[in-house]
């Protein structure tokens, strides 16, 4: 717990981005079994959490793209954002050392 509190400025955004990434993957997996207008509470949770990220990616993605492809692109964009965050913290010397 001490390392987390010491380097919270790195771990917190990294954790949030990772949680969003895997929630988007969960949404994509659930879409194989549920309709888009399903009232399943897990589906609604995944949609509510990931809609802001997916909305941002939809703005730069062609309109003819299928929704599941946009979701997977969102996953990839978040992956590269996490990678850029790690490179930024490494370059600035603020990355936690193990």
User: In the chain, what are the domain boundaries?
Assistant: 2-91
Contact 91, 83 (CB under 8 A): no
Q: What is the mean pLDDT of the chain?
A: 92
Sign for the CA dihedral angle at 52, 23, 17, 6 comes to positive
Specify the residue for token string 């309109």: 63
Q: 21-66: per-residue pLDDT in tens?
A: 999 999 999 999 999 899 999 999 999 999 999 999 999 999 999 9
pLDDT value of residue 79: 97
pTM: 0.86
Tell me the C-alpha distance between 95 and 76, whole Å. 22
pLDDT value of residue 96: 77
């Amino acid at each position: 717990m001490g390392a987390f509190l010491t380097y919270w400025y790195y771990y917190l955004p990294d954790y949030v981005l990772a949680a969003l990434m895997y929630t988007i993957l969960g949404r994509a997996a659930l879409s194989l079994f549920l309709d888009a207008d399903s009232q399943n509470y897990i589906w609604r949770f995944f949609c509510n959490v990931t809609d802001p990220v997916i909305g941002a990616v939809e703005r730069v993605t062609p309109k003819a793209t299928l929704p599941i492809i946009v979701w997977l692109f969102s996953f990839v964009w978040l992956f590269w954002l996490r990678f850029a965050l790690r490179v930024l913290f490494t370059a600035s010397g603020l990355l936690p050392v193990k």
